[in-house]
Amino acid sequence: MSTPSTVASGGPEGSRGPEGSRGPEGNTVKVAYDPAADLRALLLQPWVLVGRLISISWQLLALAVVLTVRGNSSDSAEQQRLGKRILTTLTNLGPCFIKVGQALSTRPDLVRRDWLEQLTQLQDNLPPFPHHIALATIEAELGAPVEQLFEDFPAAPVAAASLGQVYRARPYGGSWVAVKVQRPDLERILRRDLVIIRLLAVTTAPLLPLNLGFGLGEIIDEFGRSLFEEIDYRQEAANAERFADLFAGNPAVIVPRVDRLLSARRVLTTTWINGTKLQNRQELLAQRLDPSSLIRTGVIAGLQQLLEFGYFHADPHPGNLFALPGKTGALGHLAYVDFGMMDSISDHDRLTLTGAVVHLINRDFAGLAQDFVALGFLNPKTDLEAIIPALEQVLGGALGDSVGSFNFKAITDRFSELMYAYPFRVPARFALIIRAVVSQEGLALRLDPSFRIIGVAYPYVARRLLAGDTAEMREKLLEVLFDRQGRLQIERLENLLAVVEKDDSSPDLLPVAGAGLKLLLGPEGSSLRQRLLLTLVEDDHLDTDDLRALLALVRRTFSPRKLAGGLLAKLNPLAAAF
């Protein structure tokens, strides 16, 4: 097993395929998740179905009883024993249940910290499967024995997780690589357990205090589809290459390179990366790494994935993110691994989410309610008049005077209550998006409880909007600056500028001024110039009030003193102290 500061790029998760494939030429059939067909197949094997159902039910029931009886104990040693019991139960139940535990391990707001410490071991600290099976899988997939492919191949993996295990090896004439090998008989196990989990979920759903707006079966199906994508290493290789291309110009985000010649459906080989797990704050500090700068990189990279690229890493738990030395500005250097669980977001949803953040900045809760409708969280026929005050009550008070005061845990708790009181529902297509967001939130809470994600998200969106560097951002900017009657909303522009100015990591307004001026005077700003002219000319005469207010805002925000101070701080950081 590797030291805490040494990790294999690629992670131990992933891959897929029937056990019968032989050699890279045979790995062409894509096996898909089909719950109806899987159920029919399992019903034809009642001895398998009944035996496994009894085993799962008995273990979960026993765990539930123990947690109910002892869960309120104030004895820390007892709570640690309960955490170990949860870990053991999920590990014994197999890959599907381990995946559930991994999701819970990212939520310190939902799971006791002493239990959480045990659940984090589900990420890459599970028992490995026999080494000789891994060697046989490599030979079957790559068409040659290990000794012909690698100059140096260890006798044991450095990490093992729910779907596979990873080795640190060195090909002939090459550098060190991470070789990830799938667990044996994985497809059959997943199909069997997903059927049983779905049966249990659908059966017990009426007894559970849930208000999801749709059946638990849909959640299980989404989970199953993502799992079957995750266990195809050929797909993961393509995902990693696409992800690397998206961040090619960002030195703060590192992605391992795939070795296609040594990869197949159940084997994936990538460059090896030495880093520190984003799991323990003290370990990061011991390595002289800044947790806040690393969280900032993760948050901004996550926002780029959701709001710019429309393609995102859906499993950014601490076992899949590693800190590397160095910083680029206020951003720490972060390596992503394990690209088995990826997803896309439509352009419509992507732009609506951007608008929702802007509506939060401007405290426009009527607009936010419309965003919930557009995203499918509210039925279009829902009466929003009663919901708008509720949104303001839940979100408005938590925002406070500064975006830095936003508390995600408080919002999560209160918003859950709101979903019971009003007809909110979570669209199935948002399952992986929510997983990615809550994983990022859990990571931030673990490493730096004082870190405010929204304090990074707001300036990011505000800068993009004010720069208007894409047609969609320019359209969104017009939507923000002008109301439906075409009137200029000065206070909204002021809110956006204030958010950028209060960004501690990059308060320099010079780039914002330059981008805004370029947009206003350039060919892309024709619509903006036209709308400004129309709003300033009313009833055939010039409306000087709006013009004076706009000029006053520009003078206040972009005064020579502020711009010079920002430039001086950028050239000489010590000047900021004087």
Which residues are tagged catalytic? 315
Q: How many CB atoms lie within 10 A of CB 215?
A: 15
Which pairs from 305-310 meet CB under 8 Å and 24+ separation? 305/246, 305/436, 306/345, 306/350, 306/353, 306/433, 306/436, 307/350, 307/353, 307/354, 307/357, 307/461, 307/464, 308/350, 308/464, 309/246, 310/344, 310/345, 310/346, 310/347, 310/350
Q: How many CB atoms lie within 10 A of CB 259?
A: 17
**How many angstroms separate the CA atoms of 225 and 276, rounded?**
31
Q: What is the H or E stretch that residue 537 is in? A: strand 537-538
Q: How many CB atoms lie within 10 A of CB 535?
A: 20
Which pairs from 282-285 meet CB under 8 Å and 24+ separation? 283/4, 283/5, 284/323, 284/447
Place of tokens 């500005």: 329
Which amino acid type is present at position 453? I
What 8-state DSSP symbol labels residue 471?
Answer: H
Cα angle value 341/220/352 (rounded, 5°): 60
- Please give the sequence-ordered ranges of beta strands (E in DSSP) within 120-218, or none if there are none: 150-152, 159-160, 164-171, 177-182
Q: 271 vs 8, 318, 526, CA distance in Å? A: 8, 19, 47
Q: How far is CA 76 from the centre of its chain?
A: 31
CA dihedral 55, 60, 61, 62 (to 10 degrees): 90
Q: What is the H or E stretch that residue 326 is in? A: strand 321-328
**How many angstroms separate the CA atoms of 114 and 87, rounded?**
12
User: What residues does 336 pair with on adjacent strands?
Assistant: 321
User: What residues does 482 pair with on adjacent strands?
Assistant: 488
Three-state DSSP class for residue 481: helix
Q: 40 vs 18, 29, 44, 191, 329, CA distance in Å? A: 18, 21, 7, 11, 56
Q: What is the H or E stretch that residue 343 is in? A: strand 342-344
Q: Which two tokens stand for residue 3?
A: 């030291």
